[in-house]
Chains A and B, each alone.
Chain A
Amino acid sequence: MFSKKEEKTTYTVEKCVSCNNMTKRKFKTGDFLFKETSECASCKGKIMIEKIFAEAIKA
């Protein structure tokens, strides 16, 4: 009766293939799973998109 429409945002989780370091950021057009995006700042390994998902925005 008093339920509000849930607002959702899509996030992209990137993971370094070598050191397993993970970062979460907002989704950008052109992102897709297992795409190699950049180089890891700490170990120079490949960074790959591990997950893309929608999450409800916490009020």
Chain B
Amino acid sequence: MDFANFDIDQIFGLGDDTNPLLWLIWIIPIVIFMFYGQRIQLQITSGDIKKNIEKLKHLKEESRKELIDYIKKELKPKTDPTEKLDRFISYFTIMPVDMDPNGIIPKVRHIMRSREEYTRSQVKTIFSDIETLEITKVQNLLEVATTLQLLYKIVNHLFLTAKKQNNYPLILPLQMMLPFIMEEADALKEAISALKHGQPIGDGIGPMVVGKIMLGTEKQKVAFETVWSQKEYEGRKLYLLKAEGPLATVGRPGDGVEHIVSQYKPDTIIMIDAAVKLEGEDSATVAQGFGAAIGGIGTDRFQIEEIATKNNIPIFAIVVKQSIKEAITTMTKEIADKADETRSQLYEMIAENTKPGQSILVVGVGNTLGVSQ
């Protein structure tokens, strides 16, 4: 090489494609990314996931602390409930085998109800004297703390497994699901305040609509934490059903509907519930449709669909759209303002789809915390 005649273009190959230095500048990163690409991606993604795991851990601990503080300060337990509550928070539920799905619904219902009943009886043992409203509030707060603990454990497990195995593809599903998990976790954390103060939540719009119609009628218990009453409307008989407010409960609408249908054979069933809105949809919009409008694990929906099909009763639905966060936190003004419109749509639906002399079962579905009747 002639150093006296130094040419920078020649060194970096700007005028020549075959320069070895330029060739190395291109080929080394390609080789590095070929062999270590996944590890580099894993490191970058890990930072973000780690931050979210820390946040989940904080939310889990905060919800546990708020539950224990609420019980100690507001409900005056017999003894220190911390150890017992920690045990409840760690409870798990083993779902029935679904290899042969035939007959799985009664099994799921049995497991869920056993769990509910056990938790309720255990909560009662912490106190010498406690109101039903407070038991339901503690049960809901426990549910929040348990769910947050479960979310933290699952996310942490998936992250640590991917890190241990140095396996980038394993972390991808977690990375995709994490924004949704964090949205749910934030919503759960915010739900605690509404639960502690006994404020109606967005999910309570169904009970709110039906509860107002039930005012001034004679209420009877139809199933566990579920009430019903009768009312006349333009020559039609209305059977009104909702969870027993103002408890923090969804009641047992499946059992309630089954009882009323077997006793009174209504001509139509109308269900009013909150529904999760799609992205881009406006919050608090009222929509009408067909089918059983009821969420949850699916056992109540199955029971209602079964009894309606057997008796050939059409099911209509009115839903008030909202986000997951709105559904479990204190009801927003927009949703509360839609109660009257929803009630008008219910009466319109009754007038359009039934004749005088017929009977209609109207079910207000959802958590009736802070909503009486």
Contacts and interface: CB of A to CB of B under 8 A. Distances in A.
Contacts of B372: 32-35
A55 interface: yes
Contacts of A33: 200, 208, 211-212, 245-246, 370-372
A8 B197 CA distance: 14
A22 to B, nearest CB: 12
A34 B331 contact: no
Contact of B336 (A8, A27, A35, A51): A51
Contacts of B197: 10, 27, 29
Interface residues of A, number: 15
Interface in B350-373: 370-373
A34 B198 contact: no
B230 interface: no
| Interface size band for B | 20 to 34
Interface string A22-34: 0000010111111
B329 A32 contact: no
B319 interface: no
B199 A34 contact: no
B330 A10 contact: yes
Nearest to B190: A8
Interface string B319-356: 00000000001111101110100000000000000000
A52 B199 CA distance: 7
B245 A53 contact: no
A54 B283 CA distance: 14
B339 A51 contact: yes
A34 B336 contact: no
* Most chain B CB atoms below 10 A, which of A27, A29, A51: A51
Given A10-B199, A27-B199, A33-B211, A54 B370 contact: no
* Most chain A CB atoms below 10 A, which of B200, B211, B212, B246: B200
A10 to B, nearest CB: 5
B371 A8 contact: no
A8 to B, nearest CB: 7
Contacts of B154: none
Nearest to A34: B372
A53 B201 CA distance: 8
Contacts of A31: 198-199, 370
Given A52-B336, A53-B333, A54-B330, 11 more contacts: A31-B198, A33-B212, A33-B246, A33-B370, A51-B339, A52-B199, A52-B331, A53-B200, A53-B332, A53-B335, A53-B336
Chain A to chain B: the 6 pairs with minimum beta-carbon distance, closest first:
A32-B246, A54-B330, A53-B336, A53-B333, A51-B336, A32-B370
Interface of A: 8, 10, 27, 29-35, 51-55
7 contacts: A10-B199, A33-B245, A34-B372, A53-B331, A54-B199, A54-B332, A55-B332
